[in-house]
Amino acid sequence: MTTGNATTSAAEFDPALEADLARLIVGALSLEIAAEDIAPEAPLFGEGLGLDSIDALELSLAISKAYGVQLRSDDERNHRIFASLRGLAAHVARHRAR
């Protein structure tokens, strides 16, 4: 399965994790959108959800607290990791503390 520039295997596709992350995004960023309205493959930045770099920092902190996944601002993969909810969920699924 391809999401933007990131490839997601069926094992990494987790609708429950996507839903949890959508709720985390809405809550952490105080968005005025329902978590269910975030399309899994829609862009999180720009024309999609409209997030910016400050949102990315806040979201990184929230993900770190919730899942134990460290997202660094200097990671060259960030454009893929944060491309969409599905891409973010795949990254969290691969790297979260078990």
* Residue 14 and residue 77 in contact, taking contact as beta carbons nearer than 8 Å: no
User: Domain segments of the chain: what residues?
Assistant: 2-95
Which pTM value belongs to this model? 0.83
Strand partners, 3: 6
Q: At 10, is the pLDDT very low, low, confident or very high (cuts 50, 70, 90)?
A: very low
Residue 97 confidence class, pLDDT cut points 50, 70, 90 = confident
The one-letter amino acid at 79: H
Q: How far apart are CA 51 and CA 77, in angstroms?
A: 17
Contact partners, residue 27, CB within 8 Å, separation at least 6: 62
Token pair 């295997």: residue: 9
Pairing of strands 6-7, 2-3: antiparallel
The string of DSSP letters for 17-65 reads HHHHHHHHHHHHTT-SS-GGGS-TTSBSBTTSS-B-HHHHHHHHHHHHH
Report, at the CATH architecture level, how domain 2-95 is classified: Orthogonal Bundle (1.10)
